[in-house]
Amino acid sequence: MDVEIIMALISSTLSCVFVVLQIFHVNRHPDVIPFISFFMLSILTFGQLIPLVLNFEALFVRNPRRNMWLETRGWVEANEVIVRITGMVALLLKFRLLQKTWSTKWSTGNQRGTWVVEKKAFLVALPIYVMGALIAVAMNWWDEDHDNDPVMFAASPITHRPHSLWEDLKSYAGLVLDGFLLPQILLNMFWNSTKSALCCSFYIGNTFLRFLPHAYDVYRAHNYAPDYAGTYIYADPSSGFYSTAWDVIIPLVGLVFALIVYLQQRFGGLLEGWNSGYEKVPVISDA
């Protein structure tokens, strides 16, 4: 079985497991639902929806050429169907979690305050995403000026290929999905609460799933076939927008986001409890 199909199947299956665990978590602790970022869940849901509906090639895309490399084409296609089915199940589960969060936020007694905080987090995150999109557009224009100059990268002998604005925006959408915890971090800061809105398996597990395609790209960059001309599962290393360095930096940022969420749920959104914990340590004087 193709390695990419195995990774896609594992990713979709684990995604279902992590969402189910989060649903169980909110069923046991319904009081934490107002503290879950609706914006974050929307990013995760649309990140699952777009590849299924529009054949979005941000993650584990199908490469028609690879069937020429395999002896059992029907077996590969059957497993791709399984991957799509598990992806659809993951989408339905995420949509259920999104719908449950939406209905609870509207039915809570502090409905106005809940959505005011949600709006604040959204208004802070939105300029960050817009700025990133503008950078993607600017880099696309810069690359268009250098399309006639082939570039050889140290990591692999792949020559630079012209890429469209749509390709760069798709790569940026993958970057937004990598940083899916940003809205939750902002929401925790505005609430300044120690509520465990997200179970550890959900935010750590999804961070791990976003790490997988980057790890695979790094592996492929150092273990390429010299005449390989396939499609990369996250971002083409011949593109100037992402590189092997970014495949290392972005997962590290994701791990930092997960650590921040863990600390916020333990010490408060502004981490004030962490500082107060140090203040409570008694100091013994020499006298």
CA nearest to 40, candidates 173, 214, 177: 177
- Is residue 283 assigned to a domain? no
- Domain of 105 in residue numbering reads as 3-275
- Which residue intervals of 29-181 are DSSP H helices? 38-54, 73-107, 111-144, 165-178
- Is residue 280 assigned to a domain? no
Per-residue pLDDT, 100: 94
The residue to which tokens 């002896």 are assigned: 71
Per-residue pLDDT, 274: 55
- Mean of pLDDT values over 200-216: 91
Residue 221, pLDDT > 80, answer no
- Mean of pLDDT values over 29-43: 93
- Is residue 282 assigned to a domain? no
- Is residue 45 assigned to a domain? yes
Residue 163, C-beta contacts closer than 8 angstroms, at least 6 positions apart: 140, 143, 236, 239, 241
Per-residue pLDDT, 84: 84
- Is residue 128 assigned to a domain? yes
Higher pLDDT, 221 or 95: 95
- Is residue 269 assigned to a domain? yes
The model's confidence at residue 38, banded by pLDDT at 50, 70 and 90, is very high
Per-residue pLDDT, 142: 73
Residue pLDDT, tens place only, 88-142: 999 999 999 999 999 988 887 667 778 889 999 999 999 998 888 888 777 767 7
Per-residue pLDDT, 159: 46
Q: How far apart are CA 182 and CA 124, in angstroms?
A: 10
**Is residue 51 a contact partner of residue 18, using CB atoms and an 8 Å limit?**
no
- Is residue 156 assigned to a domain? yes
Question: What domain count does the chain have?
Answer: 1
- Mean of pLDDT values over 30-55: 88
Torsion angles phi and psi, residue 234, rounded to 5: -120, -60
Per-residue pLDDT, 276: 53
The model's confidence at residue 180, banded by pLDDT at 50, 70 and 90, is very high
Residue 60, pLDDT > 70, answer no
Residue 81, pLDDT > 50, answer yes
- Is residue 229 assigned to a domain? yes
DSSP 273: H
Per-residue pLDDT, 67: 44
